[in-house]
A and B are shown apart, each in its own frame.
Chain A
Amino acid sequence: MTAPSPTDERPYDLVKEIMFAVVVITALAVILAVLFGSPDERAKTIADWARADGIDFVSTALAELDGTSGTATYGPPYNSTPNAAQSLGPMAPAEWTGVGIPVDTATDFVLDPLSKLAVTDPALMDALTTYESAPADQQSVWTAAYGSSLPDAQISDSGTIEMPAGKYGPLPTIFTGLLRLARSGGLDPSLLGDNYFPLDSTKPLLFLSDGEWFASLGEGAGLGGDQWGIMNGVADWPGQTWLWLYTFWYQIPPWSTSPSGDLLVYLTMLPFVVLTAALPWIPGVRTLPTKLGLHRLIWKDHYAAQQRQQD
């Protein structure tokens, strides 16, 4: 008997194999689609938010106005807040590339949209003029007073924010106007800018994600970063399960606790990516997978024939 050789051949039909595989895979995908469908939860709008949780909306808008929101203090690429970019020692890649998507939260999210509405609302126009012409110190006094009383505020059915008595300057008029604009659905298009074709959702999504309402929706659906969220789809559909290693780091310290956690995760994943692509050229490491001995199962017929020959 001749020893098995890697050059021994048998008949094969490549085209038939590929066609058969396409038919089987397509049939499988169709069956799964019929059985399970796919999720499609409608996109959330600023109007949804303002109607569902007006106080959270106004609190967030106040933070956008006084420059204390997540976006206002984010740093690059949205603004140049000092020392805000994620860093590891002296390395802060976001600082190197700078502000590429400028966002002025007070102007873009609050004052500009309201200025369009104020054209037909003299009281609102006066309030905006008063606020914008006031010294920064005075503005801060108003926003601080308004913010401290906001948890005790009520929103009437007509959309008026009923605040405890206090010295808020023009802010009650401004935020009642903003809340009404948002609830009417008028703020969403204002945030998309002047482009007739609204293809860029950066500003409305930044505004939405600064509030607690949007975060509560995601976390309620099990999509939070500390819930292996990126691997989950909404309502238990499969998400990007192949990102398991990437999202794993977000579950454990120091990645989960560091203020520069995202940068740490990417710097941790980089060696894995390089290692995977360059594995054949790394002595020692390239021999490890075969130590499992699984190749002996995969080529068992070949090795068995070889053994019979030797016997």
Chain B
Amino acid sequence: MRRSWTTAVRERIETELPLENALPDRQPAFVRSTVYLFGVGTLASLLTVIGSGLVLAIFGPGWWHTTTVGAFVNSVHLFSVQLMFLFLALHFFAQLVMATWRRGRGVTWMIGAFSFFAAIVAAFTGYASQTNFEAQWIAVSAKDGFNAIGVGSLFNTLNTGQMLALHVAVLPAALSLLVAWHVVLVRRRGVSPPIEDGEEMRP
């Protein structure tokens, strides 16, 4: 009898990421530095970005221009984005100098890098869809780059509707999937151990 797809997926998950690895209650003794907080800081900031963004999306793109509460939620959204990139930059730099791609973690690094790039595009579309003067200026300034590389028709920064749709639907979904993939890979392989003398830096 052929094995069901559901069974295959369940067995794959159980093999690759058992629950004690996904939700560990113990961690390596060498995990003692503050730098290990940068990753969780990035993740927590992303959740705050998504939470404040959901409130803005529920009330619509005009709400934050006309109400005090809306302006406040927009400010929380702005600063959670700034915090996310601050932690993201620190997390990236820390992983770089720790060469954490070692011992089978190359793909983890690559997906993390893709998450970084996706976050940049997501933030850009947010700035370009604020429906205010800053958004006008950013859209006008940025169009030349995208036009020059031949994608201006597909990714038209002057099309506010397109920027907003990408910002509230497509890019958050893509970014969330990439970050989830990155976190699963981290949990699957565990935290990268300290570099030993003479160790090669290959993935």
Residues of A within 8 A of B (CB): 4, 6-15, 17-18, 21-22, 24-26, 28-30, 32-34, 36-44, 74, 76-77, 85-86, 93-97, 100-101, 199-202, 205-206, 208-209, 214, 217-218, 221, 223, 225, 229-230, 233-234, 237-243, 260, 262-263, 265-266, 273, 276-281, 283, 286-287, 289-290, 292, 294-295, 297-299, 301-303
Contacts and interface: CB of A to CB of B under 8 A. Distances in A.
Contacts of B47: 22, 25
B159 A287 contact: no
B1 interface: no
B30 A6 contact: yes
Interface string B136-156: 111111101101111111101
Contact of A281 (B26, B105, B106, B135): B106
Interface string B88-101: 11000010111101
9 contacts: A4-B30, A36-B79, A38-B78, A40-B130, A199-B160, A205-B136, A242-B85, A289-B97, A295-B195
Nearest to B152: A77
B70 to A, nearest CB: 10
B159 A32 contact: no
B48 A202 contact: no
B133 A44 contact: yes
A298 B161 contact: no
Nearest to B29: A8
A303 B96 CA distance: 19
Contacts of A229: 137, 141
Q: Per DSSP, are chain B's interface residues mostly helix, strand or loop, or mixed?
A: helix
Contacts of B162: 199-200
Contact of B29 (A10, A39, A74): A10
Contacts of B133: 41-44, 217, 234
A104 B8 CA distance: 57
B28 interface: yes
Given A25-B45, A218-B137, A280-B203, A9 B26 contact: yes
Given A15-B23, A276-B116, 4 more contacts: A26-B76, A26-B80, A200-B161, A229-B137
B123 interface: yes
Taking each of B27, B78, B89, which has the highest tally of chain A beta carbons within 10 Å of its own beta carbon?
B78
Nearest to B195: A295
Given A217-B133, A289-B97, A199 B161 contact: yes
Contacts of A95: 150
Contact of B148 (A15, A217, A262): A262
Contact of B75 (A38, A281, A301): A38
Given A15-B23, A30-B76, A100 B145 contact: no
B136 A208 contact: yes
A271 to B, nearest CB: 14
Nearest to A88: B148
A37 B69 CA distance: 11
A277 B110 contact: yes
Given A199-B161, A299-B194, A38 B74 contact: yes
Contacts of B140: 205, 208-209, 214
Interface of B: 23-33, 35, 37, 40-41, 43-45, 47-48, 51-52, 64-65, 71-72, 74-76, 78-80, 82-83, 85, 88-89, 94, 96-99, 101, 105-106, 109-110, 113-114, 116-117, 120, 123-124, 127, 130-142, 144-145, 147-154, 156, 158-162, 193-195, 201-203
Given A10-B29, A41-B134, A200-B159, A242 B120 contact: yes
A276 B96 CA distance: 10
Given A94-B147, A266-B148, A289-B96, A24 B44 contact: yes
A29 B83 contact: yes
A286 B113 CA distance: 15
Nearest to A101: B153
Given A9-B28, A240-B124, A263-B148, A33 B79 contact: yes
A282 to B, nearest CB: 10
A217 B32 CA distance: 50
A230 B138 contact: yes
Contacts of B25: 11-14
B150 A97 contact: yes
A33 B83 CA distance: 12
A76 B147 contact: yes
A40 B113 contact: no
A202 B159 contact: yes
A113 B190 CA distance: 63
